Structure 1
């Protein structure tokens, strides 16, 4: 399958007719170039200074969860147009997974339920008129380093649709998660993450809950959730991209793709990888004007439908935290208060999730 075929196929996969939840009207909202970002802990002052977190095990996955005391915070960022205006939000208390759901945890879910992810399911030729049925094989998008690019505006220059790529084979059929049981699971569509959360007796976080937990009680304008610098004592504080994107990753943080959970310092509330490693699905529909349109200030759940002016025909949900592909030259959306987005049926090898649970 040549590159042109891949590009056409990816476009068709993204534009499938599963559009429930989409609204074609929106407040005029300018786009920004950084919006398209994809389609044992280390001792630190951040962990030493953290509050006395209550860690419990809740749910069928037996995962450690951190008690997040409810409160008020300033949500948003002055650096990103779709994260404005900054506004006060109040949240009730909840539990949150201390780290992203791992390959081992997802494997337990699949073993007990027989669940088949979107990337593993056959594609219906009726949803892709005009495409050779022989090309409609299960698979997913995989990041492919590329030195021969023309600018950073066309993300399809470094994404390839790989038949056979799925959560068990994140980079394609010749890759494996063997030996990576503690890495975050990837190649999951939104419904794949939602199904796991339901099985575990949990749910996906709202983006307000996610941001509140990531800020961990801080009310500053620092660029990162942990502070002003990317390193402490010469060590990187998150798994992000170093080097020249997308051609060469210098691996200064030690990882080319995902890192095992707990490889980097936890925040002050005991939560790991709230920046970098993998993007995390949130339950909110994505709208660029969500903070203008949503008047709820207590436990907000986001807009009622999706609308992205850059791709108005696609249903998108919010993603938070950035991934191993983020850096300041390309994808700044790992920074504090910023928002990511993803088409709900388009898994990639840099997107995962974590769960939350209501207080009973």
Structure 2
């Protein structure tokens, strides 16, 4: 009886066009005026109901919630920069795996095709493979092979800076949204695009991209055609680096440790328990992640390799956590979006904690039109910088004398005393230093705990540091 009632309700909803399946067509009326939506006689008032976001390629859904962020074991580094605090993270999407060499090669391939003569543009995106080089180790083969050889196609990309990771996210956003419009028949693939006439999500939405029209342009109810608008909900939000809170929340995968609203077991790692080896009968003794087991032991004894990886391992190695995410501990460290501050746990909000907000707006020319750079991207100007919010106070100084607040033009470098080349102390903290997390193939187990954190200048890279992308979820946390 209950099933029959549900079927009748769905049938009625479908027939009446209530928008349960992303509708919002003719026949629906405004509760404000009674005027019909999307009807020519009432001025084509736009309305789309029942929108449900589709995950972008490579992403899995991370249902948000509350968790205790921060240290879960002894602070062996004595940094006191990660005290536990209760926060809430909104639902979002995250890459199933770390970005692989193949994923990143697609980016480089696209740059070579679209900007064939611009070596500066292309070289700025290349990973720094020389980071594999060591004065007292024979790592030269990795310098030549790790990024380009097919043997490492499915290995995580490393040697990329935080800035390069962000550029990749921006490029990926544009290619995914371009493909959505192509698959809908709105556009055709334009392999000849170059210079300023390159598809970006923003230039298309602002009417600046002149691409090749497809066979099914977006239609108005009166039969006329138009460009797709953001309000249509066809294109996806931007790919981006996850915040530190998002990354840590996703790594723990606590969705598998709840009974109603009760958290039955906290976690030290992305898996249950405090052990690093499998305890199941079939896989007993196998390590659950790629890390350094002991001094000089990168992979174990011949015939019984403990993690089967001398350096990093393919991105689908080991078991995923309860969200379906691979290698959230070990393999390679991963960049996150946050600017590093020792006291962020005191300053940030309880909902969606993040330090690093820089608010921008698109620059307009004298004629009021948007300004583009030589690569067709809209130029952005900073209108607000919150990276130092609640951090620029006298108590944040690392020196006892003087009042940092009383002098004009002081910056983060002045507050934290950067190294000046003459032997003076440096904190290495600035607005260009970012957090990274997760532990790697060359780290001890302490760094595999998602609550631990380290930092590095955003223009630097390491041979064990990669990244994965995230995407904001719009609408309800899990759908209605």
Distance 1:139 1:268, change over 3 A: closer
SS at match of 2:144: coil
Partner of 1:131: none
TM-score relative to the length of structure 2: 0.50
Partner of 2:143: 172
1:82–1:339 CA contact under 8 A, matched in 2: no
Distance 1:285 1:277, change over 3 A: same
Query: How far apart, CA to CA, are the structure 2 residues paired with 1:314 and 1:143?
Result: 29
Partner of 1:327: 444
Higher-Rg structure is: 2
Question: Which deviations, in whole Å up to 9, do the C-alpha atoms of 1:32-78 show, x marking residues without a partner?
Answer: xxxxxxxxxxxxxxxxxxxxxxx9651xxx32x11111111110014
Residue 228 (1) aligns with residue 199 (2)? no
Distance 1:139 1:277, change over 3 A: closer
Query: How far apart, CA to CA, are the structure 1 residues paired with 2:470 and 2:293?
Result: 31
Query: How far apart, CA to CA, are the structure 2 residues paired with 1:120 and 1:358?
Result: 27
1:100–1:273 CA contact under 8 A, matched in 2: yes
Deviation at 1:340, TM superposition (A): 2.0
Question: Which deviations, in whole Å up to 9, do the C-alpha atoms of 1:94-135 show, x marking residues without a partner?
Answer: 1101110111111111212345354859xxxxxxxxxxxxxx
Stretches of structure 1 that go unaligned for 5 or more consecutive residues are 1-54, 122-137, 147-157, 163-168
TM-score relative to the length of structure 1: 0.65
The alignment yields a C-alpha RMSD, in angstroms, of 3.1
Question: Which deviations, in whole Å up to 9, do the C-alpha atoms of 1:124-173 show, x marking residues without a partner?
Answer: xxxxxxxxxxxxxx764227496xxxxxxxxxxx899x8xxxxxx8x323
Distance 1:190 1:83, change over 3 A: same
Partner of 1:282: 336
Deviation at 1:177, TM superposition (A): 3.3
Partner of 1:238: 289
Equivalent residue for 1:262, pick from 316, 319, 327:
316
Query: How far apart, CA to CA, are the structure 2 residues paired with 1:83 and 1:159?
Result: 36
Question: Which deviations, in whole Å up to 9, do the C-alpha atoms of 1:185-215 show, x marking residues without a partner?
Answer: 1110111110111112200000000001011
Equivalent residue for 2:156, pick from 159, 163, 184:
184
Partner of 1:316: 433
2:341–2:429 CA contact under 8 A, matched in 1: no
Q: Would you tell me which structure has more helix in proportion to its own residues? A: 2
Q: Would you tell me which structure has more strand in proportion to its own residues? A: 1
Equivalent residue for 2:250, pick from 191, 207, 213:
213
